[in-house]
Amino acid sequence: MTALERAAPESVTELSDLVAGCDAVERKILIVGGNTLNGMGFPPERADLTIETRRIAGTASYEPSDLTLAVKCGTAIQALAASLAPHGQFVPFDAPRPQYATVGGTLSSGWLGPRRHLYGRPRDYVIGTTVVLADGTIARAGGMVVKNVAGYDMSRLYVGSFGTLGILAQANLKTLVAPQHSRVFLARLPEGTRSRAFAHVASLRIQPAAAFWIDGFDLTVDGDDGDDGRVLILLEGSAALLERATRDLRSALGGAGVPETRIVDAGARESFQRTVDAYVATLGERSVTYRIFAFPERSEAIVRSISERARHFGLRCEAIVDLMNGDVIARVSDADALALGAKIEAFDDGLHEIQPGAQVIASEHPHRQYLRVWGQVPASIERMRALKLRFDPHRTLNPGRFVGGI
């Protein structure tokens, strides 16, 4: 859902004026970045004005020798990567569809990508922010230094707040030195090898930058499934490290009964990115994708129970398991939107009985609005509501989209 009236301000002051104007007359604002995660969260309970952030874009300042950069929120993740790459730097945000996803949207949604076990969470790269609050206040937090404990950590609070506390106008980021080499491993898993493959990959001394077990997602994600699906593993680091990691990985997979692996060096990063893109890839209106955060040791059992549930409902279930972090991505689908619509609410109820935390991260099906898209309501919801009330008393920003209808 979007409002008919749209605005795309070009500056923070213009944004602030717009927001203050709406707040004063109780008009509701829907905030849109690259629209790549519009399958997350509830639809807004009302939207009188859609504010697009894409024109507040570009690098505000970049000091490669400090490994810090200030970027405006409407900047696409890929554009951000392109300005860092010539200096051999990057930020490990791992956003799906980075050509469209914006810095503001990726941070506000609290997106968590597959390399976070190695490089940390996006929030941990944010050293300062400029936000526009519901009353139009332009507030800054943090700065351009990598350590800062002057006052509350407002920046991390805005990250993951889904635009309901304020609109992120600028983020100051810490950057990282890009790994020298990337290499992807692809392997089909023969029958009965899955559990051991999971365990062997998890116990590697040199941790892969990302490791996925995949079942389905043909054509979207590289490789072909064996009887037990397939694995796609990304190694990153120096040439010397990769050489050793390659040997270790081969013997780990061999020990799990996986006879053959294919190595992709040219195009490894793209292959990894296609897997991340698949997290939010829909099958038109005939699919719903769930995400579950779990400990790695539990993820295999979770996938199994979700597939069984799906089979029970006559739904197809495809899955991606992030073996390093434990995240389970499950895409359930049916032959057409009508068939899915007849089952999805009952499936959603059943799924939440076994996986109360399951969140919807992608779907174009109209029934999405009836699903428990955020999973179970968190224990501290009343304090979260109080925070919303103190920051946005008129419920001007993204009303109803967040957890518990915040």
Partner 1 sequence: MPVEGGVVISFARMNRILALDVRNRRAHVQPGVINLDVSKHAAESDLFFAPDPSSQKISTIGGNIATNAGGPHCLSYGTTVNHVLGLEIVDEHGEVFTTDLDGPGYDLTAAMVGSEGTLGIVTSAWVRLLQLPETVRVWLAAFGDVDSASAAVSAIVAAGIVPTALEMMDAVITRAVEAAFHAGYPTDAAAVLLIENAGFADDMDACEAAVEAIAKDHGAISWRTAAGAVERDALWAGRKGAAGATGRIAPNYYTQDVCVPRSKLPQALRAVDAATTAHGIVVGNVFHAGDGNLHPLLMYDKRNLKQVAAVVESGNAILQAAIDLGGTISGEHGIGFEKREAMTQVYSTADLATMARVRDVFDPTRALNPEKIFPRGTRCPEVAPPADPTARSA
Chain positions contacting partner 1, by CB under 8 A: 63-68, 88-89, 110, 120-121, 123-124, 133, 137-141, 143-154, 156-157, 159-161, 165, 176-177, 205-206, 237-238, 240-241, 243-244, 293, 295-297, 357, 359, 374-375, 378-381, 383-384, 386-387, 390-391, 402-404, 406
* Residue 259 beta carbon to partner 1: minimum distance, rounded to whole angstroms: 27
Q: Which is nearer to partner 1, 25 or 379 (CB)?
A: 379
Cα–Cα separations (whole angstroms), residue 318 to 78, 95, 289, 308, 357: 27, 20, 9, 12, 19
Asked whether 290 and 329 are in contact (CB, 8 A), the reply is yes
The count of C-alpha atoms lying within 13 angstroms of the C-alpha of 349, restricted to the half-sphere facing its C-beta, is 5
Q: Which is nearer to partner 1, 159 or 221 (CB)?
A: 159
What's the 3-state SS for 104-120?
A: HHHHHCCCCCCCHHHHC
**Token pair listed for 59:** 């690098």
Nearest-5° angle of CA 327, CA 351, CA 109?
45
CA–CA gap between residue 142 and residue 159 (Å, rounded): 13
* Residue 88 beta carbon to partner 1: minimum distance, rounded to whole angstroms: 6
CA–CA gap between residue 281 and residue 363 (Å, rounded): 8
* Residue 387 beta carbon to partner 1: minimum distance, rounded to whole angstroms: 5
* Residue 225 beta carbon to partner 1: minimum distance, rounded to whole angstroms: 28
Cα–Cα separations (whole angstroms), residue 82 to 85, 88, 89, 359: 5, 10, 10, 31
Q: Which is nearer to partner 1, 156 or 183 (CB)?
A: 156
**Token pair listed for 291:** 């995400």
Q: Which is nearer to partner 1, 132 or 340 (CB)?
A: 132
CA–CA gap between residue 205 and residue 347 (Å, rounded): 39
Asked whether 183 and 235 are in contact (CB, 8 A), the reply is yes
* Residue 142 beta carbon to partner 1: minimum distance, rounded to whole angstroms: 8
* Residue 33 beta carbon to partner 1: minimum distance, rounded to whole angstroms: 19
Q: Which is nearer to partner 1, 263 or 386 (CB)?
A: 386
Q: Which is nearer to partner 1, 139 or 342 (CB)?
A: 139
* Residue 406 beta carbon to partner 1: minimum distance, rounded to whole angstroms: 8
Q: Which is nearer to partner 1, 8 or 202 (CB)?
A: 202
